Amino acid sequence: MRSPTSTGTSQAWAALGADASLLDRVSYGGPSGGLPARLPVMELARSTVAVCSLAAAELTSVRTGRPVPRVRVDDEAVATAFLSDRLVRLDGRAWSTFAPLSRFWRASDGWVRTHANYPHHRARLLAALGVSGDAREDVAHSVAGAIAERTAREVEETVYAAGGLAVAARGPEEWAGSEQGVLVAGQPLLTTARIDDAPGRVLGDAALPCAGLRVLDLTRVLAGPVATRTLALLGADVLRIDAPQLPESQEAHNDTGMGKRSTTLDLGDATDRRIFEELLREADVVVIGYRPGALDRFGLAPDALAERRPGLVIAQLSAWGRYGPWHERRGFDSLVQVATGIAELEGSADAPGALPAQAIDHGTGYLLAAAVLRALTEQQRTGGSRLVRSALTQTAHWLVHGLASAPGGEGGFDAGRRLTETDSPMGRLRYALPPVSYEGGPVDWGRPPGVWGRDAPVWIGV
């Protein structure tokens, strides 16, 4: 049995501006061998799930008037959930979380990692490298040759200039000395703020902390959907909205769409924009995971949202942070690992490595959900529209520089004990059970994911 207080949990709970005395409500246990790494990945995982669970328990107490329920963090449940995107099965079939061109490549002076899971990112990568992408051509061989002729930084800049994704591998010292790295190091783990004096919405007594709340989910793989999946677990009506011209992987949605509904709206179309504004008028939370500023032209900047819907909780997620020379760049967990030196720390003399899970994504997702829950709690007390922000690089910095490994639990890790199955519109779905847990809390989602984009753009009950 570990100490009743994890250092990582204490750090994350303090970053949320919460009452430190509530940490006594948290205990830990279970086998912890599921996320082996040189860096303290398991401590990041258990800490982020712990604060999310405690924030849910705290909001439950606010709504019911009863004491804050106790929280139990089980390492086996946590590790399984952090591997959920790799463990999901549909009718027994697995899917690959990375496309063939999403991988490490040797450049003339080092290593580069690319991300080409989406068709438009793949097309931009090939265009930037001068590779045709003809089906008759060995595309991977051509990409390897084009990258081998360039320096890693040249590939990074050329691909990003074309709207694609490629990052040169850096060591931790190199990242720490860069302009973006210096700025990241100066940021807190996440930020929370009250942005106006709007009266808070009074939430009535309810068994689930998010019961009756409506969440607009404007996020894509993976941290944002993990956050909104968690809010759905806790009782919120979560409606994910994507642009119809941006394809999404149904396989990814099978994992992160648990408990949610999904629709498509083109905010550049007058009719769809009107529907969105109608949804916004009754929303309680908006979660945005697009690049900083990418949706501002649609009136989705925090001040504009709060002006139209006073008392809103707005959560913003970015890859690189909303500051510095990289703030407008696209990014994913795998690329953040490469840029910040994590890939070097987890690699060998022969090649970069990777964390045992997309732990930066998952961890940031639980942190973001915790921040939303805490914003709702503070809103009950003092009102105001609320803004919470997080970034993958800030979570990565915490992993490398802020956390220490904690003692492990007893017994052998077995992900199978934390998996279950259900029927879904797509077939028989196997998935990881949620790790967020507190006394009297939910143990599973109320509904499986549906076919991506097929739900009506309305709130439940309307």
Residues annotated as catalytic (active site), given as ranges:
361
User: Residue 235 region, left (φ>0) first, then alpha (ψ -120 to 50), else beta?
Assistant: left
Instruction: Tell me the pLDDT tens digit for each residue of 321-340.
Output: 999 999 999 999 999 999 99
Q: Give the span between the Cα atoms of 445 and 414, in whole angstroms.
A: 21
In 208-232, which positions are buried (b, 16+ CB within 10 angstroms) versus exposed (e)?
bbbbebbbbbbbbbbbbbbbbbbbb
Average pLDDT, integer, range 339-344:
98
Q: Band the pLDDT of 411: cuts 50, 70, 90.
A: confident
The pLDDT of residue 409: 66
The pLDDT of residue 136: 58
CA atoms within 13 A on the CB side of 9: 29
DSSP 8-state secondary structure symbol assigned to residue 69: P
Q: Give the span between the Cα atoms of 174 and 340, in whole angstroms.
A: 8
Instruction: Tell me the pLDDT tens digit for each residue of 260-294.
Output: 999 999 999 999 999 999 999 999 999 999 999 99
The pLDDT of residue 1: 45
The pLDDT of residue 202: 84
Residue 212 phi/psi, 5-degree rounding, is 85, -5
Report the mean per-residue pLDDT for the chain.
Answer: 95
Instruction: Tell me the pLDDT tens digit for each residue of 19-77.
Output: 999 999 999 999 988 999 999 999 999 999 999 999 999 999 999 999 999 999 999 99
For the cut 80, the answer to whether the pLDDT of residue 173 exceeds it is yes
DSSP 327-384: TT----HHHHHHHTTHHHHTS-SSS----SS-HHHHHHHHHHHHHHHHHHHHHHHH--
DSSP 8-state secondary structure symbol assigned to residue 94: -
Report percent pLDDT > 70 for the chain: 97
The pLDDT of residue 52: 98
Q: Band the pLDDT of 6: cuts 50, 70, 90.
A: confident
Q: Give the span between the Cα atoms of 214 and 206, in whole angstroms.
A: 15
State the pairing for strand pair 285-288/214-218. parallel
The Cβ of residue 242 has, within 10 Å, a number of other Cβ atoms equal to: 20
